Structures are given as structure tokens and as C-alpha cells.
Amino acid sequence: MNQIDVKNRIISLRKELERHIHLYHSLDKPEISDQTYDSLMQELIKLEKANPEFDIQNSPSRRIGGIVLDFFQKARHPIKQWSFDNVFDFPELQDWQERNIKILQKISQNNLGNFQKNILKKNFNYVSELKIDGLKIVLTYKAGQLIQAATRGDGEIGEDVTENVRTIKSIPLILKDQIDLIVMGEAWISKSELAKINLEQVKNHLPKYANTRNLAAGTLRQLDSSVVAKRNLQMFCYDIESENFPTQIQELNFLRENNFLVNPHFKLCKDIKEIEKMYQSWQEKKDLEEYGVDGLVIKINQKEIQNILGFTAKSPRSGIAYKFPAEEASTLVKNISIQIGRTGVATPVAELEEVLIYGSRVKRATLHNSDEIKRLDIRIGDTVIVRKAGDVIPEIVSVINNLRPKNSVAFLMPDFCPVCNSKLIKIQNKINRMGDIKFSAGLFCKNEFCSAKHREYFNYFVSKKAFNIDGVGEKIVDEFYDLGLLKNVLDFFKLKKEDIEGLEGFGQKSAANLITAIEKSKNITLHKFIYALGIFHIGETTAKDLAKYFGNFENFEQAILNLIKDFSKLDLSDQKNLETVKAELAIFGLGQKSLESLMSWFADNKNLIFLKEILKIIKIQEINLPNINIQRPISLNSVNSILNKLEKNQVQLLVNENLEKRFKKKIFVITGALSQPREYFVDLIEANGGKVVNSVSKNTNYLLLGDHEKLSTKEKSAKQFGVKIINQKEFERMFSL
């Protein structure tokens, strides 16, 4: 054959093999025998090896694997990957629905955004899908070609597992059309495959995999893709990042039409009663499937309503995971100990006889507080039922009273801290609308010199989510604390090489490495610094939201100090004042406890002195927000004007009204290399009322085009639809007031 014939033969073989792969692995309708398939594949491999100029990354021959990596590269997701909150029974599902309806009614009454008052009465339904017990994967296609597959990771950065995912035969490597697409799905492995592989593990004197999810996760993290190819991984796809589909059902149909494997057991439900019927039905038959099913995923079908509901700090409001009862086991309570956390909270912890639950060994379970101990009437020596709530956190469900020892006595929380012997107290929370004082359920050690609180906070301060001082773990913190090297967290930055050289585990090199790591940690991002302060109720997600909102620490601090002044003037027993406060909380994207905790921390002069000292030592990286007359800080006096401008229930930057009018409802697509990260331009557009989507359509207003080597698909589409194409300079000129 000449070169043209060879090329055409390779192209034909690829198309035919992909067709048979889809028939076999997605539709279960094979047309040829395995032997015929193998012979076609071998012919393709032979031709590609002999003619490497015709090789492509997304050839079906890549499904055999063979790429060996040294390690996995990090991959930043084009869009944040959220996870759904969980409910475990029908009343909780009803509560979720009621919360959403109240939010929609509130928005309808205030006439905010494009929300129509009759939207609750028209086309308001749900899609209920099986919740597959696997590993979330994000697929990215450019011009119809699979270019990246990444694990969820922390929702923003995952691991690049592209070469391994290419071996999954139910995933199309090339789409029918040359489109850009981001697809989410769940990778899984069958129970029969688990049994087969575990036989091999035993044969080779290796530990068995605990369950299908562990096997799927372990397989995807193999560095040799040929190993992955031998294990029959599958992937159910369930979501698309696109503005082109008004409903979830349309997304699922599009995925099926484009050769993605979609779990067939989804259902359009008119109300949550239909969801409950499906839930009860699948609770009985879930174990009959080859894949693990641990519940249902419920989504509001209409994307318009999904967008209006927006997100909490952690999850989209429009969806929920309705989990089946967690796997349970019985075990003995050997002891109940008291653990003092960094905030001083005294948490009772049940020390258990080790038990295996859902593939992991459980030795301890939190008992939360004295109220929980009374509810369970749990005692040392009891036989208890333990489960992993949401298959993650071990919890004690109940006590088997018939097995209780005759001489057992009720457990009482101690009066004094087990570490510093200070009096344990309940703290006051003024949360009642009538101004009534309520007390916390938990006990707290308020001794600021308690070593347990110090140790916990020191570990928190140096953790990866905070200052991320490489090489400093719990053991080193304890050693330095016991030696008197650490009395407060500022002492980390005062350590010298000679202070630690010669200590156990530290030579000249390791001591120098630690000092280098400490110096490196002094340059910290704003959200990590806010998180590192250890403010009660301010976790990583909230810290990121606050950092993105305020841009720099000065703005953030000043806004909180202003709020302290405003709140001190308000009588919260006045219903009008209370509603104003609630509106302010919604704008910040915080709950009442979170904001009160922030204000309490900043109202403490000791903390302000600490800030003054640490800011002399460290450098906080600012989020590079443009100089566009940002109105900060927010005060309660501006709540009404803010609510009028708020179009979605998320934290927004308030900018000049002329800019807001110019960008309001304008849809942007961004492509090419720009002077700043893509997130910079997304934040800027969204802060001024615009919207950024991933693909060009007739509804797109602007394509922001950066430097590029060749004509991109997005640029072609923009020209086809008559979309205005602008470069970065033209974009920046739009901010000239």
C-alpha cells in the first residue's frame, strides 16, 4: 500500500474499532467476536508502529495502555468541582425542598434578576439518578478530542490521569463534532472484577482490595497504564458544563447520543414522593447491580432554577445526595476520653474495639458533646452499633442495652480540663430573636494557656491549608513545644538553625531545610492566612470566598471592624433589625455563627495585637483586582442598595454603576494566552454583572481572545455567529469610565 492507502486504512480501522467498542462496552450489543476484534486491533497497532507519522493520542490503540509515568501531574479544573450535601431520610429530603422553595419565593417577592413569579408552578421537577460508588473524573475535550482527564481532588486541583482514562473503553476519545466540552462522571469497577483481582492478590501474597471503590481508585492511580487497561474500568457520565441545555434530562440525552455511557436508571420525578418510591425500590435491589450504589442523586431538572439557587459555601443548593443507610457494625466501647481542640472545645471520644466498616478500620468515634452522650446513654463497656455517616465519619448509632454489663455507670462529662485542670464552661450564644440567652451544648476550656489548645492550634497553623510549613508535623510540634521553643505561633518564624540542629531527627541539612521551609511559608495567600487565624466556623471554603471578595487583608479587616460598630448599635429583639442583619449575612455568604465568630475574634484586642506583630513578619499575596472604584467596606446602612443589585445568591463585588450597566447580562467566552490567569478575567466580568461560559453560541456577546498560534474552534464559532471578538487591550478599555 502507498502512504495514502495506509493513512486511509488506519482511519477506517480506528472508526470501525471505536464503533465496536461502543457497541460492546456501552450498548452491550456486540456485532463481532472477540477474536475478530483482536485481529483488527493488532492490524491497527502494526500499521501505527510502522507509520508513526499517522499516530494520534486518541487512537483506540491507546486503550491498551503502555504509558508509564514517574508521578501524576497536578491538573487545575476549568470549573470548580462541587460535591453535594447529604440527606439520610425522607424528612431531611423534605427540609431540603422547603429551603429551596423559600429561597425562590423570597427572590420572586423581591423581583430580583430574571426570576418569574410563576416559576414554582410551571415545569418544576426533579431528575433522580443512582449515586454510583466510584471516583469522580472530569473529562476535557477540545475540538472534539479528549485532551485531559483529572480526578476531583479538592474541587479546584486534581491529578492528571489522562493516560489511564484513555484505557476506559466506555469513554469516547473523539466526539462526533469538533466541539469543546467538559464532562463529569464516576469511574467504577465491577464486583466480579473485584473478585477476580482479589484472587490474584491472594495468589501473589498481596493484600486484597476492600471494595470496588478502593479498587477503582487504586487502579486509576497506577503509574503504568497497561496495568489499568487489564482491569475493566467503566465510567458513567452524568453532567456537562454548558449553557446550551435548559434541563438535566437534555444533558443526559446529549451524553447518550454522543456515545458516553450513561447509567440507564435515571428518572424524571414530578415531586419528592416519586423520588421516595425510587429510593425505597433501589434500597432493596441495589446489591443486584455489578457496580456499587450508595444512594440517589437528586437534581432540580431546570437549569434556570439551578442557577438562581446558586451555592452554599460547600455545595450547590439545587442538588442533594440521598444516601442509603450506611454500613454498620457492632463493637465494644473500651473507654471514653476527652479531647481538647484548638478552640478549647472539650469533645468526648469513644475508644473502640477495632472494627472493619466499609473497608476501613475504626478505633474511635466522636460523641460530640454531653447532650449526645445523654441521648445515647452510652457507657464504658457498652456494645454499640457503629456506622460511617456518609461513608466517611465514624459515628455511634445506638447502644445494644441487652449486652450492657451489670455494673456499668452513666458517663458524666468532667468539670475540669484534663490537660490544664481549668474549669470547663458552656459559652453563651445570643441567637434568639427575643434576645434570650442560650448556651452551647459543648463545654469549653477558656484557659488561653492550655497546652492542649496550643498544640492543636500549632498543628493547624502549619498545616497544608494554612502556612504549609513543609516537614513540620504533629511529632515535631510536640517536641518543640516540650522544649520551650514554641510558646506562640510567632515563634515558628523566630526559629534559627542553631536552635534545632542536634535535636532528635535533625542534622545540619535537615535543620537548614526546615529554616528554608519556614522562610518560604512567610509568603502566603490571603485565603490561607485567613484560614490560619483559626477563627471558629471559618473553614477553608469560607476563607477562599472572603479572600476573593475583599482582595486584600486591609479591606477584609476594615469591613469586619465596621460591622462590629454597626452591630453594637442594633437591638436584635427588633424584628426589622433582625431581618436587616440576616440580609447582611446573606451578602457576605456567611451564616450567623460564622460572622459573629469573625466579629468576636476581631473585637478581641489581644488578636489585633497578634495581627500587628505577624504582619511585620509575613507577606500576604493580594488578589490582583483592578482599580475600578470598588466600594468597600460594606456597612449595614448599604444593605438595601446591595440587595437591589444582587442578581444571584453569591458574594459579589460592588462596582461603579456605569460598569455594571455595561456588563450586565453580557456573556463572555475566554480563550488564548492572556497576561493574567483566566480566573482574573472571570472574576472581573462576574463582579460587574457579566457571565463567563465555556463555549461560543449565538447568545455570546464577546469572545475575549488572547495570544494563539492558530485559528481556534471558539474563534471560528464566534465568526460564524457574528460574535464580537476583542483582545485584552480592547477588554481593558471597556473599564474606562
The three state secondary structure string of 447-484 is CCCCHHHHHHHHHHHHCCCCCCCCCCCHHHHHHHHHCC
pLDDT surpasses 60 at 264 = yes
d(CA 424, CA 417): 6
Classify 188 as helix, strand or coil.
strand
d(CA 324, CA 326): 6
Structure-block grid coordinates of residue 41:
486491533
Whose CA is closest to 83, among 683, 541, 691, 389? Answer: 541
- Output the CATH code of domain 3-55: 1.10.287.610
Residues of the chain with CATH 3.30.470.30: 126-323
Contact 724, 666 (CB under 8 A): no
H/E stretch holding 41: helix 34-50
- DSSP letter for 155, please: S
Whose CA is closest to 96, among 328, 348, 309, 396? Answer: 309
pLDDT surpasses 60 at 122 = no
CA 661 to chain centre: 33
Contact 445, 329 (CB under 8 A): no
pLDDT more than 70, % of the chain: 81
Q: Kindly indicate the confidence band of residue 649, based on its pLDDT and cuts at 50, 70 and 90.
A: very low
d(CA 303, CA 305): 5
Instruction: Specify the residue for cell string 531527627.
Output: 505
Show Cβ contacts of residue 124 under 8 Å, excluding neighbours closer than 6 positions. 300, 302, 305
What is the C-alpha end-to-end distance of the chain, expressed in Å? Answer: 66
d(CA 57, CA 543): 40
d(CA 636, CA 730): 37
Q: Kindly indicate the confidence band of residue 271, based on its pLDDT and cuts at 50, 70 and 90.
A: very high
Could you tell me the sign of the dihedral formed by the alpha carbons of 193, 195, 200, 204, in that order? Answer: positive
d(CA 133, CA 74): 24
C-alpha distances (whole Å) from 411 to each of 114, 336, 377, 382, 401 are 56, 8, 8, 11, 15
* 291-301 exposure pattern, b = at least 16 Cβ within 10 A, e = fewer: bbbbbbbbbbb
For 659-676, the pLDDT digits (tens) are: 555 677 788 888 887 776
Given the residues 46, 106, 131, 582, the one annotated as active site: 131
Q: What is the pLDDT of residue 628?
A: 29
Strongest mean pLDDT among 37-46, 77-86, 184-193, 499-508 = 184-193
As a dihedral over the C-alpha atoms of residue 174, residue 176, residue 182, residue 183, rounded to 10 degrees, the angle is -90
For 319-377, the pLDDT digits (tens) are: 999 988 767 778 899 999 998 988 888 999 999 998 877 667 789 888 988 888 998 99
pLDDT surpasses 90 at 143 = yes
pTM: 0.57
| Lowest-pLDDT range of 38-52, 175-189, 715-729 | 38-52
Classify 336 as helix, strand or coil.
strand
Q: How many residues does the chain have?
A: 737
Q: Kindly indicate the confidence band of residue 631, based on its pLDDT and cuts at 50, 70 and 90.
A: very low
Instruction: Specify the residue for cell string 466480579.
Output: 192
Contact 472, 399 (CB under 8 A): no
| Lowest-pLDDT range of 373-387, 472-486, 637-651, 653-667 | 637-651
CATH topology of domain 326-445: OB fold (Dihydrolipoamide Acetyltransferase, E2P) (2.40.50)
pLDDT surpasses 80 at 642 = no
Q: What mean pLDDT do residues 223-250 have?
A: 90
pLDDT surpasses 80 at 624 = no
d(CA 276, CA 296): 10
Q: Angle at the Cα of 77 (from 71 to 82), degrees rounded to 5?
A: 115
Mean pLDDT of the chain: 80
For 544-591, the pLDDT digits (tens) are: 878 877 778 888 888 777 767 766 665 555 556 655 555 555 445 566
> Bridge-partner residues for 393, per DSSP?
389
Residues of the chain with CATH 1.10.150.20: 451-521
Contact 467, 528 (CB under 8 A): yes
d(CA 348, CA 365): 9
Structure-block grid coordinates of residue 403:
449486652
Structure-block grid coordinates of residue 320:
442533594
Q: What is the pLDDT of residue 515?
A: 93
Q: Kindly indicate the confidence band of residue 506, based on its pLDDT and cuts at 50, 70 and 90.
A: confident
d(CA 677, CA 623): 11
CATH architecture of the domain 655-733 equals 3-Layer(aba) Sandwich (3.40)
d(CA 190, CA 168): 13
Q: What is the pLDDT of residue 236?
A: 96
Instruction: Specify the residue for cell string 460492546.
Output: 24
Q: Can 131 be counted among the known catalytic residues?
A: yes
Residues of the chain with CATH 2.40.50.140: 326-445
- Output the CATH code of domain 451-521: 1.10.150.20
For 183-194, the pLDDT digits (tens) are: 999 999 988 888
Q: What is the pLDDT of residue 736?
A: 52
Q: What mean pLDDT do residues 588-606 have?
A: 75
Q: Kindly indicate the confidence band of residue 268, based on its pLDDT and cuts at 50, 70 and 90.
A: very high
Residues of the chain with CATH 1.10.287.610: 3-55
Q: What mean pLDDT do residues 498-515 have?
A: 86
- DSSP letter for 671, please: E
For 411-463, the pLDDT digits (tens) are: 999 999 999 999 999 876 554 444 455 666 788 998 888 888 888 889 999 99
Q: Which residue has the higher pLDDT, 588 or 699?
A: 699
CATH topology of domain 126-323: D-amino Acid Aminotransferase; Chain A, domain 1 (3.30.470)
Q: What is the pLDDT of residue 641?
A: 34
Q: Quickly count: other Cβ atoms within 10 Å of residue 128's Cβ.
A: 24
